[in-house]
Amino acid sequence: MKSPFLIGSIAALVLLSGCLSNSSPSAANPKGSSSSKQSGSFKVALLTLGPVDDAGWNALAYNGLQAVKTKLDAQVNNQVASGTQIKDALRSYAQQGYNLVIGHGYEYNAPAFDVAKNFPKTDFVTSSGSQTAPNLATFRFYLEQGFYLAGMMAAEMSKTGVIAQVGGDKVPPIASTFDAFEAGAKAANPKIKVLTVYTGNGNDVAAAKRATESVIAQHADFVIHQADNAAQGVFDACKEHHVFAFGANANQNDNQSGVVIASAVINADPAFVAVAQDVKDGTFKGSVRLVGMDTGAIEFDINPKFQAQIPAKVVASIQAAEAAIKSGKLVVPKLNF
Amino acid sequence: MSILSVRSIIATIPYAAPVAFAGLGESIGQLSGLINVGLEGMMLTGAYFALVGTTLFPGHFAVEAGFACGTIAAVLLAVISAIFTVWLNADQVVVGTAVNLLALGLTTTLFRDHYGQSGSLISLPSLHRTFGFDALTIAFLLLLPMSWFLVYRTGWGLAIRAAGDYPPAAESAGFSVRRLRTGAALIGGFMAGLGGAYLVLGTTATFTENMTAGRGFLAIALVTFGRWKPSWIALAALFLGLLDSLQYQLQATGIHISAYLLQSLPYLGALIVLSIAGTGSFAPKSLGIPLKSHE
Amino acid sequence: MISEHNKAKALLPSWASQLLLRSGLYILGFGLLLALTLATFHLPVFSSAELLFHGAFGDQFGIGRTASKATPLLLCGLGVIVAWKAGMFNIGGEGQFVSGGLLGAAVYPVLQSHHISGSIAIVCILVASAVGGAIWAGIAGFLKVRRGVDVVISTILLNFIAFQIMKWLVSGPMMEKSGGLPETPQITSKDILWHPNPQTDFHLGIAIAILVALVIWWIQYRTRFGLEMRVVGDNPTAARSNRLSSGRRQIEAMLISGALCGLAGGIEYSAMAGQIGLDFNQNWGFLAIPVALAAGLQPLYAIPSAIFFGSLFAGSVNLSRYTQSGDSVIYIIQAIVVLGLVAGQTWKMKSRRTGEVIG
C-alpha cells in the first residue's frame, strides 16, 4: 500500500475493535469445522430465518437439531438464510451431500419445492407450508392447540374481561395462532374482548413494549405474544403494570420478569428426531406431518410458581380441554398456509 | 383512554426519549455544519455497551455503569467520526455510512460471541421510575432550556452557529471551526450514546440485535422537523411517540388500517412538513460541507 | 507492484492498466485487512479465508452466488456514483430498489392477463422497475431543487416510507390469492430472467449490470450531458457561471440514479426472488455505498469493486455456517475499508499540496 496513513488508521481501528472484543474471553470458535472433514456419515442441516439465540422460534429448532446430533450421532450444521439466500442455501447443503435439510419457517416451502426435484438424494423438510414432493415433507406444528388453551385460561381468569395478543409481523403462522387464542377465549367466555396488535417488527423490543402498554391501557389483564426476539418487551410491560403474560414457542415460564403464568410450547426435539430417523432408515415420506399435543410436540405448561393463584376450576377445565384435544374430540381451528 | 390525556403523554415519554436525546445532540452537530448519518450506529453502540456495562458491573450501580459504558463507546465512535469529517475533511455521508456498518457489525458480532449462547431472553435492571418520570427524563427536561441557552444565548453557541452557516466568519472572530465542530460532534456522540443506553436501560430493560430499528435515522429527520430548536425537537419526538401510541390503540380497537401504513406516518409526516416549509431559510448553510471547501 | 504496472502499461491501454493496478492494490490491501479482522475476532485466519474463498469461487454455485450478489451491488453502486457525482447525496438506494421491484411486480399480472410472456415480459418488468426507482428518487430530487429539502434527509425518510408501503402492498393489495401468505404471486419459470444453469444463481443480470456500467461511463465521460452533471456536483459556481441549469441536471441525475437502483430491484425480483415478500429488501442499496466509494466514484472501477464485495458477501455465507458471527464480521470489514479509503484519499491530497498544513 502506498499510504502509511492508511495502514496506520486501519491498524488503529482493528486494534480498537480488538480491545473491545477482548472484554471477555469467550470468543467464537468455529463449531464443527473439524467434524466437517468426516464424510459418508449421516448429515443434517438446519436453516433459520434469524439467529438461533432468540430463545423462541429459532432457538427451538436449533435445540431440535442438537437432539438429532446426539440421538442419531448425526453430523449437523446450521445457517441463517432468508429471502433470496434460501434457494442457494438449500442447494449448497444438498450439493455437499447432506441427507436431510430442514428449513424452519413457511418461507422455505416454495423454494424447497423447487430445489427438491433436482436433488433426489437429499430429503427436505420445512416447518409449515403446504407443498410436498417425494423428498419434501412439511411439519405443521399445531401450536394453535397451545394458544387455544391459553385463550381459555386468560378468559376464565381475566377480571377486566379484556385480554390481548401482541405480534411482530402479521404473517399467517402468527395470525393463525392468534385466531386460536381468540377461539379458546370465546369458548370459555363468549363475552370476552380480545385485542390484537402487530408491531410489524420482530426485533424492535421498544415497539413490542409500547404495543403491550397500549393494550394494557385498554384494560387487558392477560397478554400473549408472538413477538420473536422482541418478547422481552411484552414481558417487561406486563411486569410494570402487574398483569399476566403467556410465553410462546419456547417455555418462557422462568423469564426473569416473573409474569409468565404459562407457556404454549413447541417441543421440536421428538419431531426432528423422528423425521431424521425416517431419513436414516430410508422410510421418509413426503407428506404433511401435523404434530400436535397427542405426540407431545405441543405442550401447554402452567408455571408452577403461580399454582396458588390459579383456581382449581380453571386448571380442571384446561385439563379437560387438553384431554379432548389429545383424543381428537376437540379440534382447534387453524389456518392452512 | 384519550390520546391527549396527561397519563398517556407521560406514558409516551420513555419511548420518545431515546430519539429526543439523539435528536438534541444531532441538532447541535448540524448547527455546527455536521450531518451525522452514523447516528443510528452510535445509538446502537450506546445500546450494546450499556448492556456490556450493566453485565460487567452487576450490583448497586449496574445501571449507572451501563450508561457510562454506553456513552463512552458512542463518544469513541464520535471521535473516529470527527477525526475523519472534521480533521481530514472527509465527506460526512461517507463516514456516517461507515460508522453505521461498523456499529452494526461490531455489536452483532460481539453480542453473538458473548451473549448468544445464554439461551434465554436478556432481562436487565432498569432506571427507577416515579410517576412515569426517571432521573434521565427529568435531566432531559432541564437540558432543554440549558441547550437552548447554550446555543442561542452564549458566545460559544453563536460561534457554533457561525461554523455551520459561514465558517470564515467564525474563524475571523477568533474561533477554530475545527475545534467547534469537534466539540459539537462529541456532544452529538454523547447524546446518541445516552439515547441508545436509555433504550436499553430506560425504555426496555433488554437488548436485541439491531434493536435501534431506525431510531437514529428518525432522529436526523426530527432535527429538521423541529427546525434545530431543542424544545421543538423534543416536542416533535413526543408527537411522533403519541402518533405511534395512537396507531396501536387504533389497531386494538379493530380498525382495519394496515399497521404498516400507519407506521409510515411519522416519516411521511416529516417529509410533508419539510416539503411544505422548505428548509432553505432555517438550515445551517454549510451543513454537510467539509471545511476545505471554504479555504 | 510498480514493475507489474509498467509491464501492464506496455500491453494494455492506460485505462485498463489503471484498472488492473487499482484492483490489484485493493485486493492486496483488503486481504491484509481481512486477515487482521478475522484474527481480531479470534477466527482462524487461514481456514476462515479458505471458507470465504470457497463460498465465493469454489464451485459453480459459489461463482453464481458471487455474481448474483455483485449484480445489485454494481447497479446500486452505479446509482450512488451518478447521484453523488452531481452533488446529490442519494442514500435512498434501498428505497428505490424496493419501489423498483414493486412496480416490476405490479406490472407482471397485467402482462399475464394480456398473455405476454418470455423475453418481452422480462423487458417490460425491468423497464417498469427502472421507472419505479426513478420516480422514488425523483421525489427527493424535486424536493431538493424546488423546496431546498436536503437529499440525505429526504432519502432517509423515503427509504422508510418505501419499506412500509412494500409491507402493506405484499400483505394486502398485491398479495397472492391462494395461500394467504404475505407475498406477491410467483413468476412462472418461463418469465424468469435467463439462468444458463437453472441450478445455480448465475443469471443474465450480471451481464446487464456490466453493460450498464459501460453505458454510464460513456455518458459521464463522453457526453456533454454527463460532463454537465459532473460539473454541477464538482463546482456549482462554475456551473452557474456557464449558465448550466444545475437544478435540472441534479434532478436528472437523481432520476438516473433511481432508475439504476430500481433496475437492481427489478432484476432481484425477476431473476432471484421471483416474488416480493416481507424480506425483499436485503440492504443492497445501503451496502452499495461502500462499493461506489471503493471504486472512487468511477463507473468502470465499480465493476471489480462490486465483484469483490459480492464475493465477500458470497463467501461470508459459507463462513457463517461455521461461526455464529461469520456474516456480521463482513460489515466491519466494509466499514474499515471505507474509512481506510477515505484516509488514503486525504493523505494523497495532502501529499500533493506539500507544505500545506491542515487545521
Q: If pLDDT is split at 50, 70 and 90, which confidence band does B117 have? A: low
Per the structure, the complete domain to which residue A318 belongs is given by: 144-265+303-327
Distance CA C262, CA C129 (A): 5
Is B278–C150 a contact, with Cβ atoms under 8 angstroms apart? no
CATH topology of domain B6-294: ABC transporter involved in vitamin B12 uptake, BtuC (1.10.3470)
- Let me know whether A137 and A283 are in one domain: yes
C-alpha cell at C346: 486525504
Phi, psi of B150 (to 5 degrees): -60, -45
C-beta atoms surrounding B1 within 10 Å: 13
Statement: residue A123 has pLDDT above 50? yes
- Let me know whether A207 and A59 are in one domain: no
What percent of chain C is predicted at pLDDT more than 70? 89
The predicted pLDDT at position B293 comes to 54
CATH number at residue A200: 3.40.50.2300
Domain boundaries, chain B: 6-294
What distance in Å separates residue C71's CA from the closest CA in chain B?
20
Which range is least confidently modeled, B154-158, C258-262, C266-270? B154-158
Residues forming beta bridges with residue C274, ordered by sequence position: none
Distance CA C270, CA A210 (A): 38
Q: At which residue does the C-alpha cell 471551526 appear?
A: B177
Chain B residues near residue C332 by CB distance under 8 angstroms: 101-102, 105-106, 109
The pLDDT of C195-204, averaged and rounded, is 88
Statement: residue C323 has pLDDT above 80? no
The predicted pLDDT at position B281 comes to 52
The predicted pLDDT at position B2 comes to 59
What percent of chain A is predicted at pLDDT more than 90? 69
Chain C residues near residue B101 by CB distance under 8 angstroms: 290, 331-332, 334-335, 338
C-alpha cell at C118: 418470455
Parallel, antiparallel, or unpaired: how do β-strands A288-291 and A100-104 relate? unpaired
Q: Is the ipTM beyond the 0.85 threshold?
A: yes
The predicted pLDDT at position A191 comes to 96
In a mutational test of the A interface, the residue from C181, C280, C348 whose CB has the highest number of chain A CBs within 10 Å is C181
Is A11–C29 a contact, with Cβ atoms under 8 angstroms apart? no
Distance CA B106, CA B44 (A): 10
Distance CA C201, CA B91 (A): 36
- Let me know whether A122 and A181 are in one domain: no
**A19 in a structural domain:** no
Size of interface B-C (CB pairs under 8 A): 153
C-beta atoms surrounding A281 within 10 Å: 8
**A3 in a structural domain:** no
The pLDDT of B218-228, averaged and rounded, is 84
The pLDDT of A292-307, averaged and rounded, is 94
Alpha helices (H) in B3-59, listed in sequence order: 6-31, 39-56
Average model confidence (pLDDT) across chain A: 87
Q: Is B269 on the interface with C (CB under 8 A)?
A: no
In angstroms, what CA-CA distances link C168 with B263, C144, C262? Answer: 10, 27, 19
When CB atoms are compared, the residue of A13, A89, A337 closest to C180 is: A337
- Let me know whether A152 and A166 are in one domain: yes
Determine contact, residues C313/C69, Cβ cutoff 8 Å. Answer: yes
What distance in Å separates residue C60's CA from the closest CA in chain A?
10
Statement: residue B295 has pLDDT above 60? no
What distance in Å separates residue B206's CA from the closest CA in chain A?
7
The predicted pLDDT at position A34 comes to 36
As a whole number of Å, the CA-based R_g of chain B is: 19
pLDDT tens sequence across A46-65: 999 888 877 888 889 999 99
DSSP 8-state code for residue C44: -
Residues forming beta bridges with residue A246, ordered by sequence position: A224, A262
Determine contact, residues C149/B288, Cβ cutoff 8 Å. Answer: no
Q: Is C175 on the interface with A (CB under 8 A)?
A: no
CATH topology of domain C61-346: ABC transporter involved in vitamin B12 uptake, BtuC (1.10.3470)
The predicted pLDDT at position C77 comes to 97
Is B76–A204 a contact, with Cβ atoms under 8 angstroms apart? no
The pLDDT of C270-292, averaged and rounded, is 89
Q: Is C278 on the interface with B (CB under 8 A)?
A: no
The domain total for chain A is 2
The predicted pLDDT at position A19 comes to 40
Domain boundaries, chain C: 61-346
Q: Is A13 on the interface with B (CB under 8 A)?
A: yes
The pLDDT of C249-258, averaged and rounded, is 96
Which range is least confidently modeled, B43-47, B289-293, C117-121? B289-293
Statement: residue B190 has pLDDT above 90? yes
Q: If pLDDT is split at 50, 70 and 90, which confidence band does A5 have? A: very low
Residue of A337 and A5 predicted with greater confidence: A337
The predicted pLDDT at position C357 comes to 36
The pLDDT of A85-93, averaged and rounded, is 91
pLDDT tens sequence across C157-177: 899 999 999 999 998 889 887
Which range is least confidently modeled, A156-160, C77-81, C85-89, C346-350? C346-350
DSSP 8-state code for residue B283: S
Q: If pLDDT is split at 50, 70 and 90, which confidence band does B268 have? A: confident
Cβ neighbours for C337, distance < 8 A, ≥ 6 positions apart: C30, C33, C290, C294
Distance CA B186, CA C291 (A): 28
- What stretches of chain A adopt beta strand conformation (E)? 43-48, 75-80, 100-104, 123-127, 136-141, 162-167, 193-198, 222-226, 244-249, 260-266, 288-291, 298-302
Average model confidence (pLDDT) across chain C: 86
Residue of C25 and B292 predicted with greater confidence: C25
Distance CA A253, CA A261 (A): 7
Q: Is C171 on the interface with B (CB under 8 A)?
A: yes
When CB atoms are compared, the residue of B1, B120, B249 closest to A55 is: B120
pLDDT tens sequence across C64-109: 999 999 999 999 999 999 999 999 999 999 999 999 999 999 999 9
The residue of chain C with its CA nearest to that of A34 is C322
Cβ neighbours for B52, distance < 8 A, ≥ 6 positions apart: A23, B66, B69, B110, B114
The predicted pLDDT at position C350 comes to 63
Is C331–B221 a contact, with Cβ atoms under 8 angstroms apart? no
Residue of C198 and A288 predicted with greater confidence: A288
Touching B: which chains, 3+ CB pairs < 8 A?
A: A, C
DSSP C71-119: HHHHHHHHHHHHHHHTT-----HHHHHHHHHHHHHHHHHHHHHTT--HH
Q: If pLDDT is split at 50, 70 and 90, which confidence band does A31 have? A: very low
DSSP 8-state code for residue B223: H
Residue of B244 and B206 predicted with greater confidence: B206
The predicted pLDDT at position A4 comes to 43
Instruction: Count how many residues are written for chain B.
Output: 295
The pLDDT of C280-307, averaged and rounded, is 90
Distance CA B77, CA B189 (A): 7
- Let me know whether A80 and A170 are in one domain: no
The predicted pLDDT at position A219 comes to 95
Q: Is C179 on the interface with A (CB under 8 A)?
A: yes
- Let me know whether A229 and A166 are in one domain: yes
Which range is least confidently modeled, A320-334, B9-23, B59-73, C22-36? C22-36
Residues forming beta bridges with residue A263, ordered by sequence position: A247, A301
Q: Is A28 on the interface with B (CB under 8 A)?
A: yes
Is B248–A203 a contact, with Cβ atoms under 8 angstroms apart? no
C-alpha cell at B114: 458473548
Chain C residues near residue B97 by CB distance under 8 angstroms: 91, 286, 289-290, 338
Average model confidence (pLDDT) across chain B: 87
